[in-house]
Amino acid sequence: MCAQSQNFSARPRGASVSEWILAVLVAFSFSFPVLAAESQRPDVVNWVYGPKEADLGDLAKIFIPAGYQFANADDARVLLKRMNNPVPDSLVGILTSASSRGMVIFEFTDTGYIRDTDDTLNPAAILEKLQQKVAKQNQQVQQEGITNTISSVEWVIPPEYNRSEHLMEWALRADSGAGKTINHVVRLLGREGVLDGIAVQPE
């Protein structure tokens, strides 16, 4: 998998780096047999099969390797709804494969410039706030009829910030009725917003 950025040469300012870990949170916890079944249905999702290049909206291009398949934003929304998962407004695509037990979800959030500061990340404090956001998110999705809510989250990889690359990375374990999954996030802080690649897989 390779994403080629078009609009993400970073000139960060605005909110601090640690605040953008909390800016958007949609934790995914899939039922993977359902994912495997849905990924085989061309009547549900108009998959683009690799090897081929596809667009993440008008943000970037992604190379789809052989054996993998990509769904654009519209088809990705259909897929997540059918899997009884929350559908983020920032969704721009999904990458998976027929043999995979996971997927990569791409999101772009139009935040504007992001300030590059020397603030120290506090994983314990950030996790506490993330847990509070999960509780609020659960209330929202339950009102939408989604029953696959997250009961708990914890760090697998605490957040790290690569200042030279303007990249943030962390991984969360999300526990729900569907089981435990790992949400591994790589966030690119850019000129116009943040682009996330979220690899979701069973533990």
Q: How far is CA 145 from CA 37, 51, 52, 86, 89, in A?
A: 22, 37, 36, 10, 17
Average pLDDT for residues 26-35, to the nearest whole number? 53
> Between 102 and 41, where is the model more confident?
102
Give the closest residue to 83 by CA, choosing from 63, 22, 129, 91.
91
Contact at 8 Å (CB) between 181 and 29?
yes
Contact at 8 Å (CB) between 161 and 70?
no
Give the closest residue to 7 by CA, choosing from 111, 162, 91.
111
pTM given for the model: 0.77
User: Distance (Å, rounded) from C-alpha 109 to C-alpha 106?
Assistant: 10
| 135 pLDDT above the threshold of 80 | yes
* Local confidence band at 5 (pLDDT 50, 70, 90 cut-offs): very low
pLDDT digits (tens, 9 = 90+) for 44-91: 788 899 999 999 888 888 899 999 999 999 999 988 888 777 788 889
